[in-house]
Structure 1
Amino acid sequence: MSRQADSAAVSLPIAAATPLAYALVARIAVEHSVRILAIKGPLLEKMGLRSKKISSDADILVEPSRMSELCTILEKYGWNDRDVRFSPSILDPHSRTLIHANWPSDIDVHSYFPGFFGKADEVFELLWETRIEGELANVPIPTASRVANAVIALLHVLRNSPTADDNVQHAEIMAALKQDMEPAEFQALVRLADVGRIRRVLEKELRELGVAGPFDDLDSVELARWEINRTSAEATTGGWLYAIRTAGWKAKIGIFFRALHPSNEELRKDPGMADANHLEMVRTRAKRLARGIRTLPAASINLFRNRVN
């Protein structure tokens, strides 16, 4: 790439970069016969599901069996995994965040979306079957349907303790669905609820939209994991406690000490810490420990409340 082109890439505004990232992945996927669906982000605005908002990443759902293949292909175009500090996850790993040195927005590649407890390949096949053609950066892009995008966005805002922005987005999505959901969309919602096994997770929302029960489609372990993740006062503390609780006895001690005292190499992966000096590292450890102590009681209660006998 020439210096002039390189400079132009760096100055690309994020409001334009994110739609272009969607378009880029769509083109590359077609060239390699990989099925992908654009989800979330600016598509929600186009579908009347949220107010205008600048998205900092492009969310892509890929057929699960080809996630690694797609990420390897994107690596050839300069997209590499973001190197982040390890933090245990309560829900199964589901995505990879890719960054580019000359691109201001990220690409989040998903093999499935948390909150769906149906089989990942079956959920993708249904979303692919009901896909529509969207448009971003003046490029046609295969997109999950309006109902599917609404469900995915609801799962996103509900999977952790919601912020004020999450509550606003939740209200906007529900208002939009209640106002103008067509009969065919309602039937698609019911089918997605069954195949995706989201009836228990979205029980309140489905009831409000007129979907009849039953809503008991999760087993006790699945429900406990969702509730622990959803209600954790501090996602990191809750994640470490869950990892310790579910690990074998020999592994528990190692996980505990890794949570208490991560290596300097791990800490340097946090934003702004790459060149931190000794004093800054000490301060970071102190703040991290204080935050853990502060959130430990609530996280412990949450874990106990959702224990599985």
Structure 2
Amino acid sequence: MQQWFAAGNGALDLSQSDTVAREYEIAVTPIVPGPPVLLFGEGAVVWRQLATAEAPPLRHDEGALAIVHDLEQMGLAVKAPSHPARLSALPRPWLSSFRHELVYALLQRVATAAGIDMVFIKGPTLRAQGLREREHSGDVDCWVLPGDDIRLAAAMRSWGWTPLILPFTGTTIGHSLTLVAGEWGCAIDVHTSFPGMRAHPDEAFRLLRESAEPRSFAGVRAWTPPRDVHAVLSALHDMRPHNGVAPSDHAVEKASTVLCAAGRGVVTVIDRLDAGYVLRAPLERSFAEVANRYNDSLPPRDWGLRMETASSLRHLKTLKFVPVRYRLRALVRLVWPTVETMRIALEDPRATHRTVFFARVKRVGVSARKLTARR
């Protein structure tokens, strides 16, 4: 008798969920590119049996056999017990959005298949660690080694995510690459560094990966930072300038609160990431006795740029930090973004080349006026 096994890039038991119609019992991401499949009725019964190794007696049940063949065609069942996408568990969602949890699982599976080390940061894990009140995040954040962001973006294209290629994408200047969501409705930010630290991106990721803890998303094993490391990242996020505006007192207090919640272990993490310059103010409120040791800390090399209010001028100043071999490409992207990038900016994936051309011309004019006004 032929044996089949449940498969997918993540699956969740929705039988007790109030976020979907009552008849849907299981959500599974197939092993072939496509959106999650919602199973109900006999299809859900059979898939659940395959996932729990209680295979139905297919030789004597033609109805079940037909369902299994359909599941196989949909990328939800396999015949090989050692298949990397085999699933043998069906957990209930722990995120408020089951679709977001499936994105975490899918991203981890794609990264693993591509040989990419990855750690998920921010988002609902902060809530699970008692570091923030808000549970849901609108996007998914992960961290990889420099260069792996481009590889991961390429691997996610077939699943419906489009990379937002910016002037400094692929250099050491930009800290993350945004993957714009298609029908999944959940953007992904792929970090290769984090604003506010002086540690080299490779060293920072090594600390992150070596200390990471396992966490399951939709039945797929992934990795997230330990509490003290995550608190430092959260504080750095709060202290980041926005459009050249320094963090508010509320932001400093928020960063102080999360550092205090994680305990004194954050000081060691701050030292290893060389983030004392940016976090000195919140440390004065959370651990005043150690804050003075950072009085002479040096700022990250791009911190002055982040305090520049004019985006056009900030971009031009940033060029001097770009390796020489990438400067021409970055300058071209600044002045004349790719067609794909402009379509994303226009929120029109079908924008004609004529529309894109005039949008580019308008963008150049706006930037020129801003630069002229600064003189």
Fold match by TM threshold 0.5: yes
Change (3 A) 1:247 1:142: closer
Question: Is structure 2 residue 178 aligned with structure 1 residue 104?
Answer: no
The answer as to whether partners of 1:88 and 1:239 remain within 8 angstroms in 2 is: no
Of 121, 124, 129, which aligns to 1:39? 121
Q: Which residue of 2 aligns with 1:153?
A: 234
Q: Which residue of 2 aligns with 1:208?
A: 285
Deviations 1:61-111 (A, max 9, x none): 124475555445445x52554244536899713333234543211222222
Q: Which residue of 2 aligns with 1:270?
A: 345
The answer as to whether partners of 2:111 and 2:118 remain within 8 angstroms in 1 is: yes
Q: Counterpart of 2:345 in 1: which secondary structure?
A: coil
Q: Which residue of 1 aligns with 2:105?
A: 23
Q: Which residue of 2 aligns with 1:232?
A: 308
Change (3 A) 1:227 1:154: farther
Of 215, 218, 227, which aligns to 2:298? 218
Give the partner amino acid of 2:131: L
The answer as to whether partners of 2:167 and 2:333 remain within 8 angstroms in 1 is: no
Q: Counterpart of 2:230 in 1: which secondary structure?
A: helix
Moved over 6 A (4+): 87-91, 162-167, 244-248, 276-281
Structure 1 spans left out of the alignment, 5+ residues: 301-309
The 5 Å alignment of 1:1-309 reads: 15-30=97-112, 34-52=116-134, 54-64=136-146, 66-75=148-157, 78=159, 80-84=161-165, 86=167, 92-99=173-180, 101-137=182-218, 140-161=221-242, 171-178=253-260, 180-182=261-263, 186-187=264-265, 189-210=266-287, 211-212=290-291, 213-218=293-298, 222-223=300-301, 225-229=302-306, 231-243=307-319, 255=331, 262=336, 265=339, 267-272=342-347, 275=351, 289-290=365-366, 293-294=369-370
The answer as to whether partners of 1:95 and 1:110 remain within 8 angstroms in 2 is: yes
Change (3 A) 1:171 1:9: farther
Give the partner amino acid of 2:137: S
For CA contacts below 8 A with separation 6 or more, give which structure has more relative contact order.
Answer: 1
Change (3 A) 1:166 1:268: farther
The answer as to whether partners of 1:90 and 1:243 remain within 8 angstroms in 2 is: no
Q: C-alpha displacement at 1:118, in angstroms?
A: 0.9
| Aligned mates of 1:129, 1:195 — CA distance in 2 | 13
Larger Rg: 2
Q: C-alpha displacement at 1:40, in angstroms?
A: 0.8
The answer as to whether partners of 2:163 and 2:179 remain within 8 angstroms in 1 is: yes
Give the partner amino acid of 2:319: A
Q: Which residue of 1 aligns with 2:46?
A: none
Structure 1 length normalisation: TM-score? 0.67
| Aligned mates of 1:67, 1:263 — CA distance in 2 | 19
Single out whichever of 275-284 and 231-240 deviates more from structure 2. Answer: 275-284
Q: Counterpart of 1:104 in 2: which secondary structure?
A: coil
| Aligned mates of 2:97, 2:368 — CA distance in 1 | 36
Q: Counterpart of 2:276 in 1: which secondary structure?
A: coil
| Aligned mates of 1:72, 1:246 — CA distance in 2 | 23
The answer as to whether partners of 1:6 and 1:102 remain within 8 angstroms in 2 is: no
Change (3 A) 1:247 1:110: closer
Percent of counterpart pairs with the same letter? 22
Deviations 1:247-282 (A, max 9, x none): 98xx89x94x975x6379464452335527979976
Change (3 A) 1:173 1:42: farther
The answer as to whether partners of 2:176 and 2:191 remain within 8 angstroms in 1 is: yes
Q: Counterpart of 1:60 in 2: which secondary structure?
A: strand
Deviations 1:278-302 (A, max 9, x none): 799768855774576457666x7xx
The answer as to whether partners of 1:41 and 1:58 remain within 8 angstroms in 2 is: yes
The answer as to whether partners of 1:42 and 1:54 remain within 8 angstroms in 2 is: yes
Q: Which residue of 2 aligns with 1:303?
A: none
The answer as to whether partners of 1:97 and 1:109 remain within 8 angstroms in 2 is: yes
Structure 2 length normalisation: TM-score? 0.57
